[in-house]
Amino acid sequence: MSRWRGRGGLLLASVLVIAGALAWSGRQGWLAGAQDAAWARVQREGVLRVAMDASYPPFDIEEGGTFRGYDVDLAQEIGRRLGVEVTFINVGYDGLYDVLQAGRCDAVISALPYDPQRTNIASFTGGYFDAGQVIVAPAGGDGLQGPEDLAGRRVAVEMGSQAHQEALALRDRGQVALEIVTARSSDEALDMVHAGAADAAIADAISARLALHSRPGLAIHGAPLTDESFVIAVSRGNPQLFAVVKGALDQLRGEGWLEQLAERWL
């Protein structure tokens, strides 16, 4: 009895996600009578094919034919909410758009940043994780809430990295009189803060969040300095499929599920 009740609840949730997404896509004028072949196939076969470069832990990992990671859990939850199974296709990062355009996959979920130069072939959802640059400092923070509070502080960054560019931009624009200390890696920059050799560090959110597990006493302060959000890509020729995937992702975001997923893997 409980098994049928669970399946019925899942079916109802799937119907609500799909109905809401299709209504949204209809408002966009995307459903002018044309049948989305990819969405029709997903419904018919009950399978959503997701391409990823499974060599980027903790987001995309493949070991012995088993996929796991942040993106894997995200894809499987989207599939669950749509009432379909998810299969994964492991593709080198440079080939992800090729398999999408060739119709060999239905969506790309692979720590993929938004690419304005690809909008002619792909539709992009809103971001599900922001890997932008963040400030890391001792948990007390000493009043550190944003980039302006870095004035007069020694700030460690990986030499030549995006973090280094952000620190230079803050200093050279004359906004913040900070002292830049370069390191060989983001881990080394964070070690300097942990050891007291620097007052703060700037690093990408992934490195920063992972570092906090092994460097007690450090914390991320304030909002990301840059927006480097990961998005889901669906072929531009599949507006109905895009609508239901986006609808499921928007639902997850609204429920706070994405924050819980980040805590699980980062």
Same domain, 234 and 120: yes
CB proximity list for 26: less than 8 A, separation 6 or greater: none
* Local confidence band at 174 (pLDDT 50, 70, 90 cut-offs): low
Rounded to whole angstroms, what are the CA distances from 258 to 105, 128, 149, 163, 229?
A: 23, 7, 29, 25, 13
Same domain, 100 and 156: no
Same domain, 260 and 188: no
Same domain, 31 and 70: yes
Domain around 25: 2-130+229-265
Same domain, 137 and 108: no
Instruction: Give me Rg for the CA atoms of the chain.
Output: 21
Same domain, 61 and 149: no
Number of domains comprising the chain: 2
Proportion of the chain above pLDDT 90, given as a percent: 80
Same domain, 138 and 95: no
Q: What number is the average pLDDT over the span 208-226?
A: 94
Q: What number is the average pLDDT over the span 157-177?
A: 91
pLDDT of amino acid 8: 36
Same domain, 88 and 44: yes
Same domain, 101 and 137: no
pLDDT of amino acid 25: 45
Q: How many residues does the chain have?
A: 266
Lookup result for tokens 């002619």: 120
| Amino acid occupying residue 263 | E
- In the three-class reduction of DSSP (H, G, I as helix; E, B as strand; rest coil), residue 56 is classed as strand
Give per-residue pLDDT as tens, 24-68: 444 444 443 456 899 999 999 999 999 999 999 999 999 999 999
- The overall average pLDDT reported for the chain is 88
Same domain, 186 and 216: yes
CATH code where residue 242 lies: 3.40.190.10
Angle at 40 between CA 39 and CA 43, to 5 degrees: 85
Same domain, 124 and 236: yes
Same domain, 19 and 89: yes
